[in-house]
Amino acid sequence: MLSAEEYRTVFEASPDGILVVAGDGTITELNPQAEALFGYVREELLGQPVEILVPESVRGRHGALRESFGHDPRPRPMGVDLRLRGRRKDGTELIAEISLAPVPGDDRGYVICTVRDVGERIRLRDFSEAALRSAEEERRRIARELHDDTAQRLATLILRLRLLARVEDDADQRVEVDAIREQLKEAAEGVRRIARGLRPPALDEVGLATALQAHLRDLRVGANLEVDAEIEGVDHMLDAEGRLALYRIVQESLSNVLRHAGVRRARLRLGVEDEAVVAVVEDRGRGFLVRDATERGGGLGLLGMQERAVMFGGRVAIESVPGQGTRVRVELPGSIKEQGHV
């Protein structure tokens, strides 16, 4: 049987936050992980009502739920399949998995409350689900474009070729052949456009800098987004997959400017800093709260950028202030070829 000192060691070493709450709802004990989760030091929480760790919008209901548990005190998980939230000292919220258990042999109503931050796990699950939906939507878009545009063009060309066989006048044949040739060029360009969307050929043919310049031209002409760019050659620092990852992160960052920033100008800087490849995308648009965007599950693009960078040992830092704009900085270690990525 464990001694009191051994129990204390287990309590303090737990990877989950643990609070001991009295029957009247006051916090009587907590472990270091609970301090880290909520951003308080131990002395700030001892003797405080547990509702201090609950978002203000649900504090009233929380008191009633606590009393209900007191009438039937038994071990139970709280809010299975729900997204329970805790409130940190700085006012931000965390998504929590909470379990309650009455202290064995105690008749004073003490409850052990175990708290686990599952925000990252839920965000990754949401990202995976949304990524699958996004991939399926992209397949539908490509299928629709092939059917409605390319297939229709080819069907028209087949019909015109059949009709061409009936044309006897040489001059009329030449006119028809020229028209068919132009339609073939348009159909080929449509296929190339779809292929460029799947993987820009310029990345492999002429490198990352030129591929990005081409993308910026498309944004300027097609979306009226002007990007002030300072782009250095970094292909010698990255392998093919590293270049593609960086291209996609920059592409997503600029797409977010178009969709959310409410401005038509941005800045892009790409270069080498301290043996790492660094790209920075900035705008002075409406901005947002980064934590809120990711915790609400609405930050698929943000999580996607971070996931791409992590795959190559890099990282993405996103800074944004409502009304003041957004800054995305991606950093990938140089010489990726030598790190085993293929």
SS (H, E, C) 85-153: EEECCCCCEEEEEEEEEECCCCCCCCEEEEEEECHHHHHHHHHHHHHHHHHHHHHHHHHHHHHHHHHHH
Q: Quick one: pLDDT at residue 173?
A: 85
What is the rounded distance in angstroms from the CA atom of residue 145 to the CA atom of residue 190? 9
User: Are residues 318 and 235 part of one domain?
Assistant: yes
- Please check whether residue 283 is in contact with residue 266, taking contact to mean a CB–CB distance below 8 angstroms: yes
Q: Which residues on adjacent β-strands are paired with residue 283?
A: 326
- Looking at residue 119, its pLDDT comes to 79
Give strand pairing partners of 84.
96
Contact (Cβ atoms closer than 8 angstroms) between residue 18 and residue 114: yes
Q: Do 305 and 283 reside in the same domain of the chain?
A: yes
Show which of 117, 151, 185 is a domain's final residue.
Answer: 117
Structure token pair of residue 306: 């971070």
Six token digits for residue 341: 């990525």
CATH number at residue 88: 3.30.450.20
Name the one residue in this structure whose structure tokens are 């990252």.
120
Q: Are residues 113 and 145 in the same domain?
A: no
Question: What pLDDT is recorded for position 305?
Answer: 83
> How many whole angstroms separate alpha carbon 43 and alpha carbon 141?
57
> What is the span of the domain harbouring residue 150?
118-198
Please indicate, yes or no, whether residues 113 and 75 belong to a single structural domain of this protein.
Answer: yes
Helix (H, G, I), strand (E, B) or coil at 245: helix
Report the C-alpha gap between 303 and 291 in whole angstroms. Answer: 11
Query: What percent of the chain is helix, strand and coil (3-state, nearest 5)?
Result: 55, 20, 25
Separation between Cα atoms, residue 145 and residue 139, nearest integer Å? 10
Q: Are residues 124 and 192 in the same domain?
A: yes
Same domain, 106 and 155: no
Q: Same domain, yes or no, for 334 and 218?
A: yes
Nearest-angstrom CA–CA distance, 323 and 304: 24
Residues 93 and 173 reside in one and the same domain: no
CATH of the domain at 281: 3.30.565.10
Rounded to an integer, what distance in angstroms lies between the CA atom of residue 88 and that of residue 117? 12
Residue 166 CA from chain centroid, whole number:
58
pLDDT at 295: 56
If asked whether residues 221 and 294 sit together in one domain, one would say yes
Q: Specify whether the CB–CB gap between 213 and 231 falls below 8 A.
A: yes
What pLDDT is stored for residue 338 in this prediction? 42
| Per-residue confidence in pLDDT tens, the chain, 342 aa | 668 788 788 888 999 999 999 888 899 999 999 999 999 999 999 999 998 998 887 777 776 666 666 656 666 665 545 568 889 999 888 888 888 888 876 667 788 999 988 877 777 777 667 666 766 777 777 788 788 778 888 888 888 888 888 888 888 888 888 888 888 888 887 787 776 666 777 787 889 999 999 899 989 988 899 999 999 999 999 988 899 889 999 999 999 999 899 999 999 999 999 889 999 999 999 998 887 666 554 555 777 788 788 888 899 999 999 999 999 999 999 764 444 443
Token digits of residue 70 = 């007191």
